[in-house]
Chains A and B, each alone.
Chain A
Amino acid sequence: MTLLKLPDIGEGISEGEIIRWLVKEGDFVKKYQPLVEVMTVKVNVEIPSPYEGQVVKLLAREGQVVKVGEPIAEIQTSQEQAETPTTPRQPATQTAQPTRPQEQRVLATPAVRKLARELGVDLSIIKGTGPGGRITEEDVRKAASSPPTITATRPETIVGEERIPLRGLRRMIAERLVKSVSRAAPVTIFEYIDVTQLIRLRDEARQIAEERGVKITYLPFIMKALVKSLGEFPMLNATVDDEKQEIVVYKHYNFGVAVDTPEGLLVPVVKNVESKDVITLAVEISELVDRARRGALKLEDVSGGTFSITNYGAIGGLSGTPIINYPEVAILGVGRVEKRPAVEGDQLIIRPEITLALTFDHRVVDGAYVSRFMNRLKRYLENPALMII
């Protein structure tokens, strides 16, 4: 019998959630046949079978979070089947079969294992807090009273309410956001931007773009302004390495773009923005958005970000306090373009504006630094011609 383990998917991904088994116990599979769909922090991947043979047992259920290296299925490979004679001729002795543990090693006493069965808790997904990582009775009770993803016992349905398990992408989003707010020290600052000139530039660019069949939005211009401003304030184009307690500052600019998909929020990354022109950026953004909505993002499409942008203005949002795409240091929220009364000199005028919101990790940078950055960004956006200087 061969244990199939969750393979290393790369990109530092350490665990994944079993979304859907594509085979049943007893099925015969060919080599490279997709076995299971796994969702990682970043993307969905299909794990192909490394062997030809028969699926004997599925060791992970749908919805279960599995660590890389943990067994997910037992496969009797065709080689093993060939090696198993129907009549035992070789000298089997009483101990020829080593007395192995029955399942993957979970460190818990029999009493705790029994309690876990009674409470419907899957020990293989609990982290033990006891000595040497042992799972204690308390760990099991805690797991039993936490969200329904870990407990098998469903709460009773009450008339007038619907209970939806926190699963899949929803759970990933939840976990990532909670991680962000629980680790970072987020502060959000706001700024009004006069976009009179930006609109003019966009309109002129639109003609050039349309000749090439590209639809252009404000986003590529904002990206270019960000590259310029971040170049002068590099601490915001950075990530935090918690483990080593280091700030990693980047010389390239990879911007995550929040995309609303039917399944939930995804953040594909536009790479090396500094080396691409506005039209190239427009093309790339629209390709990534399209892939995100079709669920066709690849791992490299969602990794390597240094800064993120959430453009809720495009669907009419005014402003907000975005949550940092951890472990990045900052995220920019872009509000809708609208005409507002403004004071110019002593005159009340009407001009198109957007509201920017920038959330940053105060552990890494202080408010003064970010205010200066925001003023610089404002200058570029209000006078886009400066960007070519």
Chain B
Amino acid sequence: MTEKYDAVVIGGGPGGYVCAIRLGQLGKKALLVEERELGGECTNAGCIPSKVIISFANKFYEAKKLVNDGALSGELQPSLAKLQEKKDKVIQRLRDGIAFLLKSNGVKIVKGHAELVDNSSVEITTNGSREVVSASSIVIASGTAPTELPSIPFDGKHVISFAEALSLRELPKRLLVVGGGPIGLELGTAYSKLGSEVIIIELMQQLLPGVEPELARIVKRSLERRGVKIHLGTTVENYRKDDDGVRVNLTSGDKYAVDRVLVAVGKRPTKWVEKLRELGVELDGKGFIKVDDRMRTSVDGVYAIGDATGPPFLAHRASRQGIVAAEVIAGQNSVFDNRAVPNAIFTDPEIGSVGYTEAEARNSGFSVTSARFPLSALGRGVLEDETEGVVKIVAEGESGSILGIHIAAPHATELINEAALALEMAATAEDVGYTIHAHPTFAESINEAAHAVLRRAIHLAPR
């Protein structure tokens, strides 16, 4: 007899496991199928391990500055082998935590490969043995795969994706990063801080395409000051492998011999998702699963969440979608109607961004007023020697209703959550300006930027 579930969730990443826990909370009998490890790309090859490396690189870099200033003495040498051990421990601990939470919410976990038979049964292959389970609802949270560049395909050794770049046991001497998006910049920053010579190339004319241009410029300046070479409007012309690594010719005419090439140009739909078409699941033009605001696909009873539904590829978005899907399955009137999904980029300075950029707001027909507050005018910025940053607020002209907040600053990835709350709460510049922000903090710059929207910032000279 086939086992029967209220819901089968395929994929144990930040979309799938959150969905399964919420299903459990709502009293649904749920099964989570994960082919590899719980936590998905986020925990195992994305957000978490990259932040382990970035955090280590930041500490190393700060210590090195102290040595250079003469405040510390000694020879500093990073150990990537040690770092990998630490990373593995962190990942293991988080995986265990996820497993524990799933179990304590009554979710059954199966390690295996899942295939949809129809909209109410799933075939699961575990160690060669097959089993078909039946499910009233199926949630697809299968994620994406890294996009390969035909001009320089992955070989897993010299030409690598972000997954391998997070597992390096030796520091690359020279690292070429193809793709100036968040992943490329985050890892490029970290390895340059650890001592690699880093070159970043980006096809567009701006690093971090889609991010408020001023923020991208701040990050670019800061990278270049640390010796990172950046080529915009550039891609790989051709390459040749030799014993030492890879010789790459760029379309800009520059040539580099490097020991590693990190290709981070985005993510693509998996082949697994492609097969869903046969069941009638509609995919969009790029091959991502089409869903409505209740996470329903075009096939009754089949839901999809997270990266498999297309960009923005963000763990926190996937989690929110997972909660919505679980609640909809449990019969609740829940929708994904979030005003904005915050974006957190762990560069130096960090970038936090939510809502419309100024250009997007204007293109969408809003009457826009915007204002910026630089960290150089902020007490905390000066005392920490972190004056290269800015908070920019984009608001609707008439009402002062906030359309977007964009931050380049230390801890911007933390600060942005206040901004996201402001957007969800339909706050105006007046509201944010009115709210007392503790002193001396970086968050004060948000308060001051709101005042600046109203043309009454305290710590800016009148213009």
Contact = CB atoms under 8 A, between A and B. Distances in A.
Interface of A: 69, 81, 84-103, 105, 107-110, 113, 117-118, 131-134
Contacts of B210: 93, 95-98
B45 interface: no
A357 to B, nearest CB: 45
Given A99-B340, A103-B337, A92 B265 contact: yes
A109 B424 contact: yes
A107 B426 contact: yes
A117 B426 contact: no
Contacts of A88: 147, 266, 268, 286
Majority-rule SS of B interface residues: loop
B167 to A, nearest CB: 20
B285 interface: yes
Q: Which 6 A-B pairs have the closest CB atoms?
A: A93-B181, A92-B266, A97-B311, A84-B285, A132-B399, A99-B341
B428 A131 contact: yes
Given A95-B211, A107-B401, A109-B426, 8 more contacts: A69-B365, A88-B268, A91-B265, A95-B181, A99-B353, A102-B336, A117-B335, A133-B399
Contacts of A134: 426
Contacts of B311: 92, 94, 96-97
Nearest to B185: A93
Contacts of A117: 333-335
24 contacts: A88-B286, A91-B202, A91-B204, A92-B181, A92-B266, A93-B179, A93-B182, A93-B265, A94-B266, A94-B313, A95-B208, A95-B210, A95-B211, A95-B343, A96-B210, A97-B210, A98-B356, A99-B353, A100-B356, A103-B337, A108-B426, A113-B337, A132-B399, A132-B401
Nearest to B263: A91
B267 interface: yes
Nearest to A99: B341
B337 A91 contact: no
A98 B357 contact: yes
A246 B354 CA distance: 46
A105 to B, nearest CB: 8
Give the contact-size bracket for chain B: 35 or more
Nearest to B428: A132
A102 B286 contact: no
B400 A81 contact: no
B164 interface: no
Contacts of B264: 93
A95 B202 CA distance: 13
A230 B204 CA distance: 71
B325 interface: no
B208 A101 contact: no
Interface in B430-462: 430
B266 A91 contact: yes
Contact of B182 (A86, A90, A94, A133): A94
Given A90-B203, A131-B428, A96 B266 contact: yes
Interface string B239-276: 00000000000000000000000001111100000000
Looking at chain A's contact residues, the main secondary structure is loop
Interface in B25-54: none
Interface of B: 147, 150, 179-184, 202-204, 208-211, 235, 264-268, 285-287, 293, 310-314, 317, 333-343, 345, 353-357, 360, 365, 399-401, 424-426, 428, 430
Contacts of B357: 98
Contacts of A98: 210, 356-357, 360
A125 to B, nearest CB: 16
A110 B364 CA distance: 23
A69 B365 CA distance: 10
Nearest to A123: B337
Contacts of A109: 424-426
Contacts of B266: 88, 91-94, 96
A102 B293 CA distance: 8
A378 B301 CA distance: 75
Contacts of B208: 93, 95
Contact of A96 (B181, B338, B400): B181
Contacts of B365: 69
B38 to A, nearest CB: 23
Contact of A99 (B180, B235, B265, B312): B312
Nearest to A86: B285
A143 B400 CA distance: 26
B394 to A, nearest CB: 12
Nearest to B403: A105
B200 to A, nearest CB: 12
Nearest to A107: B426
B339 A101 contact: yes
B282 to A, nearest CB: 10
A95 B354 CA distance: 11
A110 B424 contact: yes
A238 B93 CA distance: 80
A105 B398 CA distance: 14
A83 B408 CA distance: 33
Contacts of A91: 179, 181, 202-204, 235, 265-266
Contacts of A113: 337
B285 A94 contact: no
Contacts of A84: 285-286
A361 B40 CA distance: 72
Contacts of B430: 131-132
Given A99-B354, A102-B336, A94 B312 contact: yes
Contacts of A90: 203
Given A99-B312, A107-B401, A93 B209 contact: yes
A113 B208 CA distance: 33
Nearest to B339: A101
A346 to B, nearest CB: 72
Nearest to A102: B337
Residue from A69, A102, A103 whose CB has the most chain B CB atoms within 10 Å: A102
A95 B312 contact: yes
A110 B424 CA distance: 6
Contacts of A118: 333
A380 B209 CA distance: 78
A107 B425 CA distance: 8
Given A84-B285, A101-B355, A117-B335, A93 B401 contact: no
Contacts of B335: 117
Contacts of A108: 426
B99 to A, nearest CB: 27
Q: Which interface residue of B182, B268, B314, B425 has the most chain A CB atoms within 10 A?
A: B425
A96 B268 contact: no
A281 to B, nearest CB: 46
